[in-house]
């Protein structure tokens, strides 16, 4: 896990298997150390708005993209998304929704809330690259010198 | 109060009767006029006859006087002659008397004749002639008296006396003839008048009789048509009364205070009252349920005040205390000054209607319960499919993902059999993923709102075919697109129909030499039947219905990949458009899938 003020990717995912597969896919490309993993909506909101364990941390300093699962315990992904879009600090942070299926009816709701793209789980690295490329984040994320 | 204008059949009879009256009266008046004319003619005739009689009398008198005048003049002359011959004074007497009488006659004649008439002129001419004659006589008498007989005879001998006498006679004849003419013309006038009066009175009497006969005929006809009309009126009124009394509606009439003045049998039967218990004894409000009275009174006042109150529902209380509801509509009859005179109401018994309405309400409630239950079931299904999509996928993802990790990171420690087993795992989990996706798709297409708009089918299909080609689905299959008319439907949903049908056709032509798929349409019974024909393996028609059922597959997975959902999606979407879908096929001879977007085609 990276320091909070170094985080470039926020992964919000409650399934540990999905999270592991995603992290492994990204780790292969030296991105895992810049990823913060939130296990539910509350953790995600605490991180995004520097609350609770993240008080006094400037978590948004390097944040490039949020990978957001929709089905989350406590506060669900749609709620996280709408709170992000309602706050000027997080309003412009790109959000990529992680979905179980292309047929997920929530996808259209997410687009309505201003989501930038979606990826069908499990997150294949190639698919992830395609999405971040389309969002113009590719070089920001990948041209970092390895640590 | 004045009754309102009579309604019903009476106005139509009035003009006919008026016509009869007018004609009868006219005939009578004409008869009277003619009789008055006859009377006047007779009266005038009497006048004429009287005048003629007077004229005749006058004429007789004048001629009588003339005759006497001549006689008296001859008397005077005879006396003169006697005196001249005898010189006897005895002859002087007739002479003097005659002379006097002649003068008297002359005066009388002048008096008798109207001034300025022909006769008067003749008499005025007669006067000097007579005076001349008398003075000749007097002169000779005076000569004789004076003893101058010769002188007197000389005068006589001059023949002057005879000449004078002749001229008098001549004048008297003229006057006499004139009077005779007048007499005759008066006579003629009398006979003419009598003839005229006789003719006029005969004609007039006949005419009057004619008019009277005419009047009698008209009256008789009038009375017979009146009898016929009365019979008709009676029949109509009998019919009206019957209709009024036995109508399936209640009727009653009220006075301006709401007192019942008339009620039909139907309503009194409903109420259980005898007519004489209510007519003139109860107001309509007395018969209503107490809680309905204030409202009914208010409506009554508004109605009387000229407002249109429409139809209302009230409850009546029967004599036995039970209640029934009616639908009532009322109208106001007003007198010539606009004051309310009668309030007429028509009532329809609501009992049966209410029963039916209650039934409808019960059925509706049951239906709503069913709908609610169905909605619950639907929501349950939706939740279920959501759960399927998310929760069934999570372990599937883990299996796929970790199998892949195993393959990638531990490949060195796996032999060929181990790798094959891993592939089996991967293929099956992927298949299950597709299955779940298809199920979700079916569920989503079933629920998605159907938005109809004009659809350019030709463009839609060529787009789908191009996508398939780009995805490499149709490798080696010749797809031809025929004429595809535009349709009304949801383009998004219809795209799925074409995709599934084309994919299906392509799939079952795999391995067939010169595989081909023909897409087209035909007109049938006024609607368009779209079709997708392939020359693939075909199917047994006894399974023709089964192909559209979810998870129903006619071929083993090993032969044809598939989830058994595609054609179910097609059927669902077509049915949602109100259309039909069916297949015609035989094993080994290809299959043709047809669909319509309305219920008419392809029956």
Residues B22 and B152 in one domain: yes
ipTM of the complex: 0.72
Rounded to 5 degrees, what are φ and ψ at B75?
Answer: -55, -50
For B409-428, what is each residue's pLDDT tens digit?
888 888 889 889 888 888 88
Which of B389, B400, B401 lies at the smallest CB-CB distance from A104?
A: B389
Residues B195 and B94 in one domain: yes
Asked if the C-beta of B362 comes within 8 angstroms of chain A's C-beta atoms, the answer is no
**Cα radius of gyration (chain A):** 14
**Residue B480 sits in which domain range?**
449-595
Q: Which residues of B touch A102 (CB under 8 A)?
A: 437
Average pLDDT of the residues in A90-100? 85
Alpha-carbon gap, residue B442 to B430, rounded angstroms: 18
Residue B530 lies in a domain: yes
* Four-residue CA torsion sign, B397, B399, B403, B406: positive
| pLDDT tier, A99 (very low <50, low <70, confident <90, very high otherwise) | confident
Residue A21 and residue B386: Cβ atoms within 8 Å? no
Alpha-carbon gap, residue B272 to B259, rounded angstroms: 18
Mean pLDDT of chain B: 84
Is pLDDT above 70 for B116? no
- Which residues have C-beta within 8 Å of that of residue B460, sequence separation ≥ 6? B491, B494, B495, B498
Residues B422 and B331 in one domain: no
Residues B493 and B402 in one domain: no
How much is the pTM? 0.45
Residues B454 and B310 in one domain: no
Rounded to 5 degrees, what are φ and ψ at B335?
Answer: -80, -175
Residues facing residue B591 across a β-bridge: B534, B585
Residue B237 lies in a domain: no
Residue A122 and residue B400: Cβ atoms within 8 Å? yes
Residues B44 and B55 in one domain: yes
Q: Which domains occur in chain A, in start order?
A: 4-140 (3.40.50.2300)
Residues B62 and B151 in one domain: yes
Provide, rounded to the nearest whole percent, the portion of chain A with pLDDT above 70. 80
Domain end (from B429, B447, B465): B447
- Which residues have C-beta within 8 Å of that of residue B159, sequence separation ≥ 6? none
Alpha-carbon gap, residue B371 to B360, rounded angstroms: 16
Domain end (from B396, B417, B447): B447
| pLDDT tier, B277 (very low <50, low <70, confident <90, very high otherwise) | very high
Which has more confidence, A41 or B5?
A41
Average pLDDT of the residues in A110-122? 81
A129-143, B190-204, B249-263, B465-479: least confidently modelled range: A129-143
For B73-92, what is each residue's pLDDT tens digit?
888 888 888 888 887 888 88
Residue B394 and residue A101: Cβ atoms within 8 Å? no
Is pLDDT above 80 for B563? no
Residue B2 lies in a domain: no
- Which residues have C-beta within 8 Å of that of residue B349, sequence separation ≥ 6? B248, B249, B250, B270, B324, B325, B326
Task: Give the strands of the sheet with B527-534, arranged side by side.
Answer: B478-481, B516-524, B527-534, B591-595, B581-585
Give the pLDDT of residue A31.
67
Cα nearest neighbour of A24 on chain B? B405
Cα–Cα distances in Å, from B477 out to B182, B289, B469, B507, B585?
Answer: 147, 83, 10, 10, 19
- Which residues have C-beta within 8 Å of that of residue A114, sequence separation ≥ 6? A81, A85, A95
């Amino acid at each position: 896990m990276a320091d909070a003020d170094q985080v470039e990717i926020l992964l919000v995912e409650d399934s540990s298997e999905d999270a592991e597969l995603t992290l492994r896919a990204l780790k292969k490309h030296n991105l895992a150390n810049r990823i913060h993993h939130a296990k539910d909506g509350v953790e995600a909101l605490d991180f995004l708005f520097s609350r609770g364990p993240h008080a006094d941390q400037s978590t948004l300093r390097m944040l490039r993209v949020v990978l957001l699962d929709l089905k989350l315990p406590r506060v669900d992904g749609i709620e996280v998304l709408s709170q992000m879009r309602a706050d000027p600090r997080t309003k412009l942070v790109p959000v990529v929704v992680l979905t179980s299926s292309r047929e997920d009816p929530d996808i259209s709701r997410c687009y309505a809330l201003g989501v930038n793209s979606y990826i069908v789980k499990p997150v294949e690295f190639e698919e992830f690259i395609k999405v971040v490329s389309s969002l113009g984040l590719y070089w920001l994320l990948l041209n970092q010198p390895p640590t | 109060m004045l009754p309102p204008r009579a309604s019903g059949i009476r106005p139509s009879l009035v003009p006919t009767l008026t016509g009869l009256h007018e004609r009868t009266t006219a005939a009578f008046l004409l008869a009277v006029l003619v009789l008055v004319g006859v009377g006047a003619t007779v009266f005038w005739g009497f006048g004429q006859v009287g005048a003629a009689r007077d004229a005749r009398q006058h004429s007789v008198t004048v001629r009588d006087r003339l005759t006497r005048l001549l006689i008296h003049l001859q008397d005077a002359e005879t006396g003169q002659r006697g005196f001249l011959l005898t010189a006897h004074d005895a002859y002087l007497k007739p002479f003097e008397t005659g002379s006097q009488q002649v003068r008297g006659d002359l005066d009388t004649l002048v008096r008798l004749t109207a001034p300025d008439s022909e006769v008067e002129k003749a008499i005025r001419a007669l006067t000097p002639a007579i005076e001349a004659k008398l003075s000749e006589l007097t002169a000779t008498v005076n000569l004789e008296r004076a003893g101058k007989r010769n002188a007197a005879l000389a005068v006589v001998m001059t023949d002057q006396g005879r000449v004078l006498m002749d001229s008098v006679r001549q004048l008297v004849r003229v006057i006499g003839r004139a009077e005779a003419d007048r007499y005759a013309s008066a006579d003629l006038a009398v006979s003419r008048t009598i003839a005229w009066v006789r003719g006029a009175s005969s004609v007039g009497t006949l005419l009057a009789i004619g008019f009277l006969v005419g009047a009698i005929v008209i009256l008789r006809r009038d009375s017979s048509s009146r009898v016929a009309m009365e019979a008709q009126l009676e029949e109509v009124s009998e019919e009206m009364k019957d209709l009024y009394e036995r109508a399936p509606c209640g009727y009653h009439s009220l006075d301006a205070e709401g007192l019942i003045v008339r009620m039909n049998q139907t309503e009194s039967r409903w109420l259980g009252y005898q007519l004489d218990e209510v007519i003139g004894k109860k107001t309509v409000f007395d018969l209503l349920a107490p809680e309905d009275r204030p409202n009914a009174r208010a409506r009554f006042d508004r109605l009387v005040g000229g407002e249109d109150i429409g139809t209302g529902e009230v409850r009546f209380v029967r004599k036995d205390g039970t209640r029934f509801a009616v639908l009532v509509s009322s109208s106001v009859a007003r007198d010539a000054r606009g004051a309310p005179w009668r309030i007429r109401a028509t009532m329809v018994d609501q009992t049966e209607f209410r029963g039916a309405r209650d039934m409808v309400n019960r059925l509706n409630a049951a239906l709503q319960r069913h709908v609610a239950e169905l909605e619950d079931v639907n929501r349950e299904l939706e939740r279920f499919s959501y759960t399927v999509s998310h929760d069934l996928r999570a372990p599937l993802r883990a299996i796929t993902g970790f199998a892949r990790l195993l393959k990638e990171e531990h490949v060195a420690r796996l032999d060929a059999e181990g790798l094959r087993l891993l592939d089996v795992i991967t293929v099956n989990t992927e298949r299950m993923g597709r299955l779940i996706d298809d199920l979700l798709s079916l569920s989503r297409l079933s629920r998605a709102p159907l938005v109809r708009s004009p659809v350019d089918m030709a463009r839609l299909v060529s787009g789908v075919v191009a996508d398939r080609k780009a995805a490499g689905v149709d490798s080696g299959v010749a797809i031809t697109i025929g004429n595809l008319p535009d349709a009304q439907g949801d383009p998004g949903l219809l795209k799925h129909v074409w995709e599934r049908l084309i994919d299906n056709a392509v799939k079952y032509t795999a391995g067939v030499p010169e595989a081909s798929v023909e897409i087209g349409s035909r007109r049938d019974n006024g609607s368009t039947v779209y079709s997708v024909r392939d020359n693939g393996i075909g199917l047994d028609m006894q399974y023709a219905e089964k192909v559209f059922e979810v998870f129903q597959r006619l071929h083993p997975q090993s032969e044809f990949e598939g989830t058994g959902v595609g054609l179910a999606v097609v059927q669902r979407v077509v049915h949602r458009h109100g259309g039909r879908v069916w297949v015609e096929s035989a094993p080994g001879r290809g299959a043709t899938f047809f669909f319509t977007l309305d219920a008419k085609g392809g029956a």
